[in-house]
Amino acid sequence: MNLENSQPDPNNPPAVPAPAPKPAPVAPPKPVVTPEQVKASQAIVAEPINRTIADAAKPAGSEAAAPDLESMDRRAFIKWLTVGWVAFIAAIGGYGAMFLRFMFPNVLFEPKQSFRAGFPDEYPIGEVSERWKDKYGVWVARDNEKIYVLSTVCTHLGCTPNWLGPESKFKCPCHGSGFYKTGINFEGPAPRPLERFKIYLADDGQIIIDKTKKFQQEKGEWNDPESYLVV
């Protein structure tokens, strides 16, 4: 092989290959805008304008009035809450009073129906004693033969007659009924005589008056030995 012939010729350099052609530029894809995006962008643009118009339409001092309305609402709430509690407590108190009334009913403490009225000598002959009128509702009368006890209840409508000593009669202040010292009715609307009560002597000689047993003259009960005390 000839090495001299294989050396390059300076006067005839080897051919340089041409550069490859550049590719043509590709245009970027156009953005696709949806109707929803268009509406959103319009809303973003219009929001400051709408806010400005709304602020201009607000009356002066409306922002300051808002705290006042809140405070008024708070006061009204507290007021109605207080009213509600008061009504609740009143209702509980009413039910409590009813419960106590049920548990502890009113009891009428009437005077004793049987009591000691002293000794016979304490009642003068011909006199009507009012000693037990207020406490026990009776008169104790004495004549020449006996002692008897009369009720202080008028037989007309239940009023309390008055003993008129100088006139020797009982006179009812309500409707004018009159009774003799014996209890017999003689004037006014009273339909019957006064009632009498049982009377007897105890072992110690004192008078016992028993109001549980009554005697009516119109029934002939004044003749009963228990309706008077012989002295």
Same domain, 120 and 226: yes
Same domain as 193, residue 134: yes
Q: Tell me, what DSSP letter sits at residue 114?
A: E
Residue corresponding to tokens 């039910």: 95
Residue 158 lies in a domain: yes
Look at residue 47 and tell me if it is in a domain: no
Choosing from 83, 109, 135, the residue where a domain stops is: 109
pLDDT of residue 3: 45
Note down the domain range covering 82: 70-109
95 plus 184 within the same structural domain? no
Q: How far is CA 57 from CA 53, 62, 64, 66, in A?
A: 6, 11, 15, 16
Domain end point (choices 59, 91, 109): 109
In a domain, 40, yes or no: no
Give the pLDDT of residue 37: 67
Total number of domains constituting the chain: 2
pLDDT in tens, the chain (231 residues): 444 445 555 566 565 555 666 666 665 665 655 667 666 666 555 555 555 555 555 555 545 455 566 666 777 778 888 888 888 888 888 877 777 776 666 655 566 789 999 999 999 999 999 999 999 999 999 999 999 999 999 999 999 999 999 999 999 999 999 999 999 999 999 999 999 999 999 999 999 999 999 999 999 999 999 999 998
DSSP state of 121: G
Strand arrangement of the beta sheet that strand 178-180 belongs to: 162-164, 169-171, 178-180, 185-187
